[in-house]
Structure 1
Amino acid sequence: MDINMIIEGYLQKASILQEAMPKLSLEKTISNNAFAEKRSDWQKDALLAVKRDPAVLEAKVTVKDQSVFNSLMDLEPPKKPTGFQPRNTPEARPRLDFDNKMCMERAALLSLSSTQFSLLLKYVDTLRQQRMSSQKQIECGFCKNNRQPEVWYTTHALKDAKGRVRCPILRSFVCPQCGSTGDRAHTISHCPRRK
């Protein structure tokens, strides 16, 4: 992933958003100065938003360069926003919260240094590996390959840590060549007597 592509995409979206803003009825209530102040607050809180992301907090990564890790942790706490305060209308509030979060996420990505960005990518990679390993543990390959519904094959694993068959469908199967069933059950293609 190239940071320049992210920045270019963000700038294009920002220019489109700025053109569309006068058309929005909600934007008419916000002065340009208040919008600029809010944007600067988002940029200040951008890295904090990344740090508070549950995915980043759950990642179990060992950081080799401790100075990079310390620089991420020594940031200032967020300041209370001043200026623009949104109206508490039922239809405007959820959309405004969503827009605030999207702007904070974009600002967070743009404000990261290359070192911080690479550290964030390491977090993402670790989370992806953790998710894939846990997904393999709770998915039965036998049921998945035999087109069972996802609701079924995600309820159990094919084998346990000791290599015993856990899949109830495969456990009930009797190999026609060797007669194995239960803990040592297998299909004909995986039979040890197969030549």
Structure 2
Amino acid sequence: MRRLLLALPFALMPLAAAQAADEHDHDHEHGSLGAHVHGVARLDMALDGRTLELELDTPAMNIVGFEHPATTAADKMTLALAKETLLKPHALFSLPEGAGCTATKQRVESTLFGDKDDDDHDHADGDAAEHEHSEIHGHYQFTCSAPNVLNKLDLTQLFKSFPATQTIQVQLVTPKRQMGAEVRPSNPVVKF
């Protein structure tokens, strides 16, 4: 399954390029799918058999409102509450009940949570370079008893939990299709 998620960006590269070009034409501020843009997150979704995996990548600004290491009690509390929320996948992602999906794994990582930066980049320029653009990565795995019932993903709760997130660029691969979509709080459901 991990290979499928790793291959997802390559499988959808033509779509991403077309979408990025289209976004550039309409709003030069939103760049390509891989760019660090406040308000914009990316969600990769892959269904393989009964296993559904979701990978969320978002600037920390969208989740906690800052990208610097937490030094104040308020910032530390904000980080702790955000991590707690992010570790509850059923509270973020609404899947059709008939699919019988149960969260089996969830992991959230960020340098802000004290996790090591998994980049291979050398941050020789100091801490400022390392924390200039902090990201939060979430990995969620579900086992679904009736995966053929999966036909939509509702992100309403994710938008409500983290209102600074204004756009989620979704890429998905299922046995039946590959697609990309852009969802917003006003239209938070991806149908596939």
- Greater percentage in strand: 2
TM > 0.5 between the two? no
TM-score (norm 2): 0.23
Which is richer in helix?
Answer: 1
Larger-gyration structure (1/2): 1
TM-score, scaled relative to structure 1: 0.23
Q: Larger RCO: Structure 1 or Structure 2 (Cα < 8 Å, ≥ 6 residues apart)? A: 2
